[in-house]
Amino acid sequence: MMRQNDEFIDRTINPNISMVGEMPANSADAKVNTLLFNNVLNSQISKDLKSTLRYRYYDNDNDTPEIFWPQYNQEDAASVALRRRNLAYSYTKQNASEELTWRADKNLTVGGSVGWEQYDRDRRAVDVTNEFIGKVFLDARIGEDTRLRSSYQYSERTFENYDFASVAYYQYNGVGTNVTSLLMRQLDLADRDRQKANVSLEWSGIERLTITPTAGLRFDSYDTNPDNIYPNIGQGNAGELGLTKDNTWNVGIEVAYSFSPGTTLMLAYVHENFDRDLYSGQGVTNYLTPTTTGPNPARYFFSNMDENVDTYIASANIELIPDTLELKLNYAYAHGKENWSAQPYTNSSDCLAAVNSACQPFPAMKTDYQRLDAVLKYRVDPEFVTKVGLIGDVFVKLRYSWEQNQVTNWQNDWTTPYMYLVDGSMVRNIAMAAVNPNYTSHLIAASLAVKW
């Protein structure tokens, strides 16, 4: 249950904007109620065969009033006299699955499951999506020193009806205005086929040393069709817009060594690749007259986004005083490099012209992320704990964290700190760099824990 009824703040502090009329309400009077059922039934069918039946029901019911606003403030720059209402998004999510696990012998376990997931949404372009999931897995011990874990999953998600125009009609009360293209397929709603696989091989052939290589993938194929399948919507060769592919794979290795029961060292490396294809364009659509105001197909384009991320991790647990004082250290460094490329959809595409930048080469975007954590944990002498009248174990922790993120991005390197200050045509007040991804932070914390 969530309630929020604080009074609204002023819509803007810009004195150059003339806001007409009073606000239709003094507060949101927000009300969100949630309900959760989670059920698991385990059955031992035979000595070696186990069944697990799961059902989960989650309801997020948003009863916040949907208020009509006579106008709204656009980017602290102008008042837009267009009536629209806030939308109270609600959804119900259901999951059901049946899993069978067979222990073939002491060194081999195999299994599989089938599942279903449904979202039932309000105030979205799609009311209902259904996803059917199949999975197989294997856990095997090879000899005395090696253990193999692997799994593969395939799923298909489909929607029943895609109708963004009805959402826009309700939000704007039937008044025509430009909105996102009616052909856009949002990634959490669109039809999608997914494959997932993971494998790890743990080897401990040398005393106190464990080496674990890993690999994984997730391939998402969206059924977004860029071809002209809606001849009555938009102009010319208009087709569906949105993601057509979202693939990722990773390989890595982890090495752990135990110097003593309380002192260990772990080193790890992971390489990840993200590969996405997008079909998109420039322009908007009037939801009442899409046949005459659809996006111009000359501004449609394909785009590929390819990113590689290398992550290095080192951690250590050091027992400074046995059973009394220990130190935990963890350091992570990740370097990411993302390349974007684009190509025109038609021979008449505007982005073929050198004066337009949509299909020109983009500079690579780079991200360097670092984090250091140090935790010192002291176990208070049990005799002292008893003397002060406490029961159990008492720990004192001191923690220090340092985090830094540095981004080189052609999209915001120049605009982030100055964005609306360089627009001389209008007085604006957005200049606080709220989306600046470059930062350094320090955190110091102390805590007292009692365990009994």
Q: Do both 419 and 400 map to the same domain? A: no
> What per-residue confidence (pLDDT) applies to 233?
47
Asked if residue 289 and residue 382 are part of one domain, the reply reads no
How far is Cα 297 from Cα 237, in angstroms, rounded to an integer? Answer: 6
**What's the pLDDT at 234?**
44
HEC string for the chain: CEEECCECCCCCCCCCCCCCCCCCCCECCEEEEEEEEEEEEEEECCCCEEEEEEEEEEEEEECCCCCEECCEEECCCEEECCCEECCCCEEEEEEEEEEEEEEEECCEEEEEEEEEEEEEEECCCECEEEEEEEEEEEEEEECCCEEEEEEEEEEEEEECCECHHHHHHHHCCCCCCEECCCCECCCCCCCEEEEEEEEEEEEEEECCEEEEEEEEEEEEEECCCCCCCCCCCCCCCCCCEEEEEEEEEEEEEEEEEEEECCEEEEEEEEEEEEEEEEEEECCCEECCCHHHHCCCHHHEEEEEEEEEEEEEEEEEEEEEECCCEEEEEEEEEEEEEEEEEEEECCCCCHHHCCCCCCCCCCCCEEEEEEEEEEEEEEECCHHHHHHCCCCCEEEEEEEEEEEEEEEECCCCCCHHHHHHHCCCCCCCCCCCCCCCCCEEEEEEEEEEEEEC
Positions of the chain with pLDDT lower than 50, given as ranges: 232-236, 416, 429
Residues 296 and 441 in one domain: no
- Same domain membership, residue 125 and residue 55: yes
Looking at the fold, whether 94 and 222 belong to one and the same domain comes out as yes
Sign of CA dihedral 347, 352, 358, 364: positive
Question: Quick one: 428 and 373 in the same domain?
Answer: no
Task: Sort strands 192-206 and 146-159 into parallel, antiparallel or unpaired.
Answer: antiparallel
Task: State the residue range of the domain holding 398.
Answer: 363-407+435-452
Q: Are 215 and 252 within one domain? A: yes
Number of domains in the chain: 2
Q: Are residues 251 and 372 in the same domain?
A: no
Give the pLDDT of residue 434: 55
107 and 194 part of one domain: yes
**Are 370 and 423 within one domain?**
no
What is the pLDDT, as a whole number, of residue 350?
A: 66
Are residues 378 and 305 part of one domain? Answer: no
Within this chain, do residues 290 and 368 fall inside the same structural domain, yes or no? Answer: no
